[in-house]
Structure 1
Amino acid sequence: MAKFLFNGKVSCAHISNRVNKMLAILLIVSSVALTSCDVSHLDLTTTSTESPPPAPYAFAYTAGRYPGHIDREHAEESDGSGVVKGHFSYIDPRQKVRTVEYVADKEGFHPLLSDVPPEHPADSESVARAKDRHFELYAKIAEEHAHHPFPDETYVPRQSEAVARATAKHAQLFRVIAEQHARIAAEREALQREEEERQHLQDLAE
């Protein structure tokens, strides 16, 4: 809170106002002095880093899946200014050589194929016939299923008389063969026991 003195004395608020005015005048004078200074003697030149010289390059190589075998090659060269030219070749699964020449510049990558495959390979005559036959059968089956969505029990395969006779004959032959194998096994076991007894008697005689 500002205090005032009377009887010929100056108040504190009056002194503060005078100080603020003096500071404002001092700032204005300083700004004018700085802007009017002579800076002609200062060196205001700027330096910049020069771009390095172009660095062109070129390379080429060949490669293969095993020693002495070459199935790909690549060559490329650049003038150092951002333009790159080259080509590469390889052998596709059909043993056909594919070559691509390309140029890369500020506009992008521009390949050029030596043998451009068709966008949609046409079907051969046999493939076309097979497709037509497939579609015909598909339409026929779809129509049959539309009329009979659920299979009839009468169409379930059943064992015919011929199949039943063949099954019985097979079972009979199986039993005969099993009996023969059992008899042969018993005979071999008996022969083995006789041989072991004979060998045992010879050992006792010695």
Structure 2
Amino acid sequence: MQEQDMRLGILTGLAEEAALAARHFPQAAIATSGATQAGAERALGALKAAGATHLLSFGYAGGLAPWVQAGSIMVPEAVMVEGQLVPVSAELAKQFGVVDGHVLHSPHMVRQASEKAALYERTGCAMADMESGLVVTSGLPAAVLRVACDVAGETLPPAACQPLRGNKPDMGAILQNVLRRPGQLPALITLGRHRGAARQAMEKHLHGLDLA
């Protein structure tokens, strides 16, 4: 996939996503947002400082469309940013899969099933994440490769929404939250199962790409 003088910079939300990207894109510069808007802006600056000439927003996304399943892969043709569709680089995007549909950039985690439904009705975007809007408005050629790890009908349990520690889930905070609200445990188990399916699907997708 590499052109002469091309340096790919990959923006992810989590350390887990960054590790997956590093295995499949060993020559790329990789930075992690920690799933915050400010963190994403800092990470984007780090990628530019590292000499990235092309950008990829990579990792998990939340499903908005009813047809999106855990493990659904998306390489969108555009990202909706503040109500406007911003196209990706078609030349870059086609290297990561079939290019189709739209992803929503959200400045916050979309947690409630009702919010997901409202966003889908208003925007028509199939998935949402917190990094893609930054790469497509960066001024560099950019693409998005995302996999759904939660679905439209799911409200994320409170334990899954705890702030990260070191770009990783804070297991202590998660455990304390579950102990305070044990009723969320079935939803948390389902989310974990969906996340595993998403990771497996992305691994399979990446193995099928010509990344030489």
Q: Place the TM-score, normalised by the shorter chain, in its bin.
A: under 0.3
TM norm structure 2:
0.16
Larger RCO (CA under 8 A, 6+ residues apart): 2
TM norm structure 1:
0.17
Whichever structure has more helix as a proportion of its residues is 1
